[in-house]
């Protein structure tokens, strides 16, 4: 009898301790202008920059160029075109085609800046504490190869102004490089430098108030496919940029309360640029009718889940011991 009672109590205690509420899920908001993510909340906490102070955006999409062109112009098929910094997608009205899914189709306005017919799809997918950003480009230009660049630019809340922000690479970086920004022209310098001149122990980037005095820190040749954003020593999110060749880290110089993690497939023009669009480094070449897909993700790190499991296990062990003593007595 006592044995049966013991088993029953054990099962009841186990179920009561290990049962938990459904996993929390990220909540997002987006808008059709720029197909931009405007809010990313987890358990009621906002992780995305508010777009109000220092920088009036949240998470712009960079298309059909990343960064700036030399003299803000480029040559495509013998014609000169002006494309604004980071492209026109961020200021274009997308059509909503689903829940947090959008499409931008080439039109007269885009063709004045970029002589290709295209479809750009942007979708956001939530899976518990992860958010996936997905970009798809289709070349609709008949019998012509489309050239373009693409990237992301989300800004995350972090106390950079208090020098409490840190980037931790997932792996030790033995060969990482930095492409400095030529601050006079706002484009890339040809003087590539060793990334470990700023990374501590080949893994940690301490963000200081003067870190962005020369604009963004642009990394390439990374071993890691993801980084952790830390605030005051605590990991707050994991940022996965697998598939992208460059990672830009940026914030507005001063007391800005955010840091941008920017996955780039290619870069702004270099100081020795010929202005020929086809000669841009890592420019994407997409044949007529073909599709290009790429994406990145954010995973919110919540220590509360792990600590609550540990606490439950302690209570479970204690209650089990008490019950055993009671039954045996």
d(CA 245, CA 7): 57
Tell me: the pLDDT tens digits for 161-204? 888 899 999 999 999 999 999 988 999 999 999 999 999 999 99
d(CA 228, CA 300): 10
The alpha carbon of 52 is separated from its chain's Cα centroid by a whole number of angstroms, namely: 20
pLDDT at res. 301:
97
> Which of helix, strand or coil describes residue 328?
helix
CATH 3.30.499.10 fits 28-308, yes or no: no
Mean per-residue pLDDT over the chain, rounded: 89
d(CA 64, CA 86): 7
pLDDT at res. 303:
74
Tell me: the pLDDT tens digits for 258-301? 999 999 999 999 999 999 999 999 999 999 999 999 999 999 99
Continuous segment of H or E residues that includes residue 323: helix 303-328
> Which of helix, strand or coil describes residue 36?
strand
Is this structure's pTM higher than 0.85? yes
What average pLDDT does the segment 40-44 reach?
Answer: 97
Q: Give the position of tokens 């950079």.
A: 160
Residue 9 banded pLDDT, cuts 50, 70, 90: very low
Please answer whether residues 55 and 256 qualify as being in contact, where contact means their C-beta atoms are separated by less than 8 angstroms. Answer: yes
Please say if the pLDDT value at position 18 is more than 80: no
Residue 326 CB contacts under 8 Å (≥ 6 apart), including other chains: none
Residue 73 banded pLDDT, cuts 50, 70, 90: very high
Q: Which of 86, 219, 92, 93 is nearest to 148 (CA)?
A: 86
pLDDT at res. 13:
46
Residue 10 CB contacts under 8 Å (≥ 6 apart), including other chains: 320, 323
pLDDT at res. 314:
47
Domain ranges of the chain: 28-308
Residue 253 banded pLDDT, cuts 50, 70, 90: confident
Q: Give residue 138's region: left, alpha or beta (phi > 0; psi -120 to 50).
A: beta
Half-sphere exposure of 213 (CA within 13 A, CB side): 4
What average pLDDT does the segment 313-328 reach?
Answer: 47
Tell me: the pLDDT tens digits for 293-309? 999 999 999 876 544 43
């Amino acid at each position: 009898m006592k044995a049966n009672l013991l088993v029953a109590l054990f099962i009841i205690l186990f179920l009561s301790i290990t049962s938990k509420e459904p996993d929390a899920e990220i909540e997002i908001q987006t808008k059709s202008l720029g197909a931009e993510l405007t809010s990313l909340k987890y358990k009621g906490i906002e992780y995305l920059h508010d777009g109000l102070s220092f920088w009036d955006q949240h998470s712009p999409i960079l298309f059909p160029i990343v960064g700036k062109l030399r003299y803000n112009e480029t040559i495509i098929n013998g014609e000169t075109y002006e494309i604004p910094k980071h492209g026109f997608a961020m200021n274009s009205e997308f059509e909503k085609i689903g829940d947090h899914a959008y499409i931008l189709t080439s039109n007269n306005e885009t063709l004045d800046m970029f002589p290709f017919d295209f479809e750009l799809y942007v979708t956001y997918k939530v899976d518990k504490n992860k958010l996936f950003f997905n970009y798809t480009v289709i070349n609709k230009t008949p019998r012509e190869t489309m050239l373009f660049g693409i990237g992301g630019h989300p800004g995350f809340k972090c106390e950079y102004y208090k020098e409490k922000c840190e980037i931790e690479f997932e792996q030790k970086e033995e060969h990482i490089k930095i492409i400095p920004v030529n601050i006079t022209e706002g484009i890339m310098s040809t003087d590539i430098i060793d990334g470990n001149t700023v990374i501590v122990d080949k893994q940690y980037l301490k963000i200081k108030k003067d870190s962005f005095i020369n604009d963004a820190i642009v990394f390439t040749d990374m071993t890691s496919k993801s980084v952790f954003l830390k605030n005051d020593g605590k990991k707050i999110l994991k940022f996965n940029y697998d598939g992208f060749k460059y990672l830009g880290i940026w914030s507005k110089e001063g007391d800005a309360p955010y840091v941008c993690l920017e996955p780039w497939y290619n870069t702004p023009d270099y100081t020795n640029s010929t202005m020929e669009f086809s000669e841009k480094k890592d420019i994407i070449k997409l044949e007529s009718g073909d599709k290009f897909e790429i994406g990145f993700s954010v995973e919110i790190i919540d220590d509360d889940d792990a600590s609550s499991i540990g606490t439950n296990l302690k209570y479970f062990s204690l209650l089990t011991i008490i019950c055993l003593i009671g039954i045996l007595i």
